[in-house]
Amino acid sequence: MKILIVEDEVKTVQSLKKGLEEHQIEVEFAYDGLTGKRIAEEGNFDVIISDVVMPKMTGFELVKSLRSVGNDTPILLLTAMGATDDKVVGFEAGADDYLVKPFEFKELLVRIRALARRGKDGSQVKTILSFSDLEMNLDAKTCHRSGKKIDLTPKEFALIEYLIRNQGRVVSKSEIAEKVWDINFDTGTNVIEVYVSYLRNKLDRPFDKKLIHTMFGLGYVLKEEE
């Protein structure tokens, strides 16, 4: 697990960092809101922990700024302000949890782990998936490339969804059969090749840039042409 701590009290940061690293949690930190915002946008974190009252940008402003650009990393706010109104402001800004100082380290650890699990679960149910100029809306069951709507059958939709979720990684035919078709792979069938061909006809051939690539003997990968 990797987390970001944004807190202006040096001793607090050092104490939390030491405790979390003892539990095999990688920690990065910032001492003001603006620096925290930059690190959060540049990095990939399982959880962000932020104080509320900080130099340059408050925790509320940090949360709102990250949410406005689509950063959905779970955020836990740490603060001495325990009033309900303060909590409402934090949650309305987009925070996921709120812990009032002083707190027990064990409670913080439990909250972090719960948020990390929630973040992973949430990543599996995002309603919009995208890669390059390809975009899928999982709720509306629509697919567009370069703004053009692509009509897909349910199985074609499920296949390209799986490739987008695993973009840049080679997925084997047996993995596709198990995850998309929910069957054990039958080496005597070419159903995977057939559906990949269907997708290429709809998603690749009408466009200049090809996204679906065959890795001979290995499987398929969704990536931009080099």
- The reported pLDDT for the residue numbered 196 is 93
- The reported pLDDT for the residue numbered 120 is 60
pLDDT tens by residue, the chain, 226 residues: 899 999 988 888 889 989 988 888 898 989 998 999 999 988 888 899 998 889 899 988 998 888 888 788 888 888 776 665 666 677 777 788 888 888 888 888 888 888 887 666 555 455 788 899 999 998 788 999 999 999 998 889 989 999 998 999 999 988 988 888 755 555 556 778 888 999 999 999 999 999 999 999 899 999 987 6
Backbone angles phi, psi at 193, to 5 degrees: -60, -40
Q: How far apart are CA 79 and CA 68, in angstroms?
A: 22
- The reported pLDDT for the residue numbered 215 is 93
Q: How far apart are CA 112 and CA 106, in angstroms?
A: 10
- The reported pLDDT for the residue numbered 171 is 94
**Buried b or exposed e, range 185-222, using 16+ CB within 10 angstroms:** beeeeeebeebbebbeebbbeeeeeebbbeeeeebbbb
Q: Are 53 and 59 in contact (CB under 8 A)?
A: yes
- The reported pLDDT for the residue numbered 209 is 92
- The reported pLDDT for the residue numbered 86 is 64
Q: How far apart are CA 125 and CA 137, in angstroms?
A: 11
Strand 47-51 and strand 148-149: the pairing is unpaired
Q: SS3 string of 46-77? A: CEEEEECCCCCCCHHHHHHHHHHCCCCCCEEE
- The reported pLDDT for the residue numbered 182 is 57
| CB proximity list for 92: less than 8 A, separation 6 or greater | none
Q: How far apart are CA 32 and CA 184, in angstroms?
A: 52
